[in-house]
Amino acid sequence: MAATNSTAVKTLTGTAIPVRGNDIDTDQIIPARYMKVVTFEGLGQYAFRDVRFAEDGTPKPHPFNEEKYNGASILLVNRNFGCGSSREHAPQALNKAGILAVIGESFAEIFAGNCTAMGIPAIALASEDMLQIMDAVEADPTVNITIDLPSTTITAGSHRYSFTLPPAYLNSLIAGTWDSTSVLLDNLNQIHETAGRLPYVHGFAKGA
């Protein structure tokens, strides 16, 4: 099956926002009480809610509260990001907050899978490279970062790094097959042809 070019994710460029700390779980990314929604729209305002604000709404020190990172589309994290429960709302909240890619030292497997299923690369870098990029962005938030999936490289300022991404995730992002809905819509003719050959599907509507 083929996918539309519009769903392919090959190159992303933008500024970044660093959120330091190991083992940041999905409950920190979005507290469970904000998951009682019919759609994912509006979840961006609750990203990191409890670590960003006190109970009375007073802002706490957190990168997502800093004006210098406004408009950042790439999230920088450390080890085992997205651990804990497998809630899809975590990458959805990040995406609705403007995040299009996550670069970190390592990720919880289910979180990385959920990201990929949304077209969000969850890219792993060596620890020393990750810390170097974080330091550079904290020193100058205007630094542009370019992620090139086909070459598995990241360019940050004048520095270039090699990243890792499971081949299945990498290939699905580049080919655009991460978007299962688009893949189905692009192949409707084949689906109808196959359905027409199946005795338990062909004529089902008429029989009803």
Domains annotated for the chain, with CATH where assigned, are 9-177 (3.20.19.10), 179-208 (no CATH)
Closest CA to 18 of 104, 100, 89: 104
Instruction: Let me know: does 201 contact 208? Beta carbons within 8 Å.
Output: no
The H-or-E segment that residue 75 falls in is strand 74-76
Using alpha carbons, list the distances in angstroms from residue 117 to 58, 99, 122, 128, 172.
34, 15, 11, 28, 9
Per-residue pLDDT for the chain (208 aa), expressed as one digit of tens each? Answer: 333 345 899 999 999 999 999 999 999 999 988 877 766 788 899 999 999 999 999 999 999 999 999 999 999 999 999 999 888 899 999 999 999 999 999 999 999 999 999 999 999 999 999 999 999 999 999 999 999 999 999 999 899 999 999 999 999 999 999 875 555 555 556 655 666 677 766 665 554 4
Helices (H), the chain: 26-29, 49-52, 89-96, 109-116, 127-139, 167-175, 180-186, 188-197, 204-207
Instruction: Let me know: does 103 contact 126? Beta carbons within 8 Å.
Output: no
Closest CA to 69 of 125, 131, 12, 143: 143
